[in-house]
Amino acid sequence: MVEKADSVYSIVSAERRASRANGAEPLRSVGRLVFCMIYETEKIEVTWNGPYSWPGFESNNSLRPIPQIPGGYLQTFEYRGGYLIYAAGLTHRSVYTRFREHTRKYMNGEYTVLDIAAAQQGIRKELWHGWGYAHKHREEFEERKSIILDSVRKQLVGFRIFITDIEDVGRESRIFERLEAAIMMNLYQQPSPICDVPDRGMHLAPRWDSEDPIIVKSSCAAILHGLPAFLEI
């Protein structure tokens, strides 16, 4: 849902309203909005639904299958009554189709593989490093393939997926790109272990200087550690 935010958002404290009245610059903090809006800012409300299973592993974890809709998604691990975010992504095709592509890349050794038990404790322990390392060390992958793929399956079983419908955000690609970038960049600035687990080196496309800011209000029935209720993108 897209609407216009009030000129002064309800979470702004009296001190910040006073600063605004005195001509002070807008105030921002990492992730959670602490922002004096002296103009109307577009606001988007998104709902993260889940957790869903990684496609093909529903019988292993007894979770619901991913809906076959386009949208944004979060790959997470269970952690202390909630979920640690490993990666955010987006697709204008079916999320199910996109995840089948992810599966092929995992099985081909192109993605990094983590120790699922360690990840659920907030510890990033790599069992195989993908991306550029994988391309340069195909022989090592082939030698360790059976062990690596066993760990891949455990990781895919352990993933908990959350999805927001593309209609919540609108079909403009840039909004989804900005949301993906804002989520990941916010995670990188959080305290440990929230900042430890996520992948880094992603190709992100945050807001350009020429673009007006948008406030995203996220809601979820589950606890998503490191995802603030309000996020400027």
pLDDT (tens, 9 = 90+) of the chain, 233 residues, equals: 444 444 333 333 444 444 444 444 443 334 444 444 445 788 999 999 999 999 999 999 999 999 999 999 999 999 999 999 999 999 989 999 999 999 999 999 999 999 999 999 999 999 999 999 999 999 999 999 999 999 999 999 999 999 998 776 655 778 889 999 999 999 999 999 999 999 888 889 999 999 999 999 999 999 999 999 999 99
pLDDT at 155: 98
Reduced to 3 states (helix: H, G, I; strand: E, B; else coil), residue 151 is: helix
pTM for this predicted structure:
0.81
> For residues 68 and 47, what is the distance between their CA atoms, to the nearest angstrom?
17
Tell me how far apart the alpha carbons of residues 117 and 119 are, in angstroms, rounded to a whole number. Answer: 6
Q: Are 221 and 163 in contact (CB under 8 A)?
A: no
Alpha carbon separation from 180 to 15, 31, 76, 88, 154 (Å, rounded): 32, 13, 14, 6, 26
Task: Quote the number of domains for the chain.
Answer: 1
DSSP state of 64: B
Tell me what pLDDT residue 169 has.
Answer: 61
Tell me the residue range of the domain where 217 lies: 2-232
Please tell me the distance from the alpha carbon of residue 36 to that of residue 19, in angstroms, as a whole number: 9
Q: State the residue for tokens 């299958």.
A: 65
The pLDDT value given to residue 167: 72
Three-state SS string over 66-104 comes to CCCCCEEEEEEEEECCEEEEEEEEEECCCHHHHHHHHHH
Distance CA 115, CA 95 (A): 25
Helix (H) or strand (E) holding 54: none
Q: What is the pLDDT of residue 35?
A: 42
Of 214, 224, 219, the C-alpha closest to 181 is 214
